Amino acid sequence: MPENPMHPATPRPGQERYTAPADQAKLGAVDAVDTTEAPSSLWNEAWRDMRRRPLFWVSATIIVLVSLVAMFPGLFTSQGPRVCQLANSLGDPAPGHIFGFDRQGCDIYARTIYGARASVVVGVLTTLAVVILGTTVGAIAGYFGGWFDTVLSRLTDIFFAVPLVLAAIVIMSVLPERNTWTVAAVLASFGWTSIARITRGSVMSVKNNEFVTAARALGMSRGAILLRHVLPNSAAPIIVYATVALGTYIVAEATLTFLGIGLPPWLVSWGGDISMAQQSLRVRPEILFYPAGALALTVLGFIMLGDVVRDALDPKARKR
């Protein structure tokens, strides 16, 4: 057989190849796979990625600290937030009163500590309501499609066109009673649209996967497939949005309270203290910075955690 000029039998100089003997190439050891180890899930991979990042531990420390302050304020101060003496009005810091006193003679540090409870409670309640309502609407629209998708998508568009804070201002101004439950309900009534859209898109991308087809072939109902297979595999973007949105709703509550239409004055909150501190801004500007700084630090913690969770749950981000 003539030699192929494109593939000569004898290699040219410099093109020799070396092949190790079979007894030296331990292919079995190289290609061995540990079949006893459990397969890694998306959540395990995300946890491994997050715990290696300093930003996760910083944000988690902030959130844990704020949560402890909100649940157990008595551990951080022995002063009462409503114990006020006019003789201490705009007083300087003193032993046991490290932030000084506001215009009413109240301890600023104690009010900053106790103000975390109302703000965090409103943020948590609103986020829970938004996740439940938005996930339900988005999952039904994305999975069942048809007229379900048409009606629910148009309903979502209507609510999405209304600004959250503007709608809350209008509704809160006509409510006869204002408390943490009413503020959370009003914010949730107009804040669920974004998560509904996110859930709809995530469900639509998951519902055509092979494991959903296999579950349908096994005779599972559509509702069972949605709850047991589609939603768990669509939860990553929902968790990321909920983490960031919690800080957003804390700011929304502070905004409403600052305007005088959020929480009532007898409830200690950061928004109320910021509103009262503006009267003394020229004399004691630091009075405003303490509750505003606590609010900003809390929101920053949730935003940083949301960024870390988003990068950990996004496979493309992990590859980058």
Query: Does the pLDDT value for residue 320 go beyond 80?
Result: no
pLDDT digits (tens, 9 = 90+) for 189-248: 999 999 999 999 999 988 888 888 888 888 888 888 888 888 888 888 898 899 889 989
Q: Residues with Cβ < 8 Å from 157, sequence gap 6 or more? A: 193
- Dihedrals φ, ψ of 84, to 5°? -125, 140
When pLDDT is cut at 50, 70 and 90, the band that residue 71 belongs to is very high
In the chain the first and final C-alpha atoms are separated, in Å, by: 52
C-alpha to C-alpha distance for 239 and 50, rounded to whole angstroms: 14
Residue ranges per domain, the chain?
Answer: 43-319
Contact predicate 317/135, CB 8 Å: no
Per-residue pLDDT tens for 17-60? 656 565 555 555 555 555 555 556 667 787 888 888 899 999 99
pLDDT, position 134: 93
Of 37, 55, 8, 70, nearest to 312 by C-alpha is 55
> Contact at 8 Å (CB) between 229 and 207?
no
Distance CA 268, CA 272 (A): 7
Average of per-residue pLDDT values in the chain: 84
Cα diameter, the chain: 112
Class of domain 43-319: mainly alpha
Average pLDDT over residues 277-290: 85
Angle between helices 108-144 and 193-206 (to 10 degrees): 40
Q: 193 and 156 in contact (C-beta within 8 Å)?
A: yes
What is the rounded average pLDDT of the residues 146-156?
89
- Among candidates 38, 42, 53, 39, which has minimal Cα distance to 315? 42
Nearest Cα neighbor of 142 from 214, 220, 237, 215 is 237
Residue 14 has what pLDDT? 59
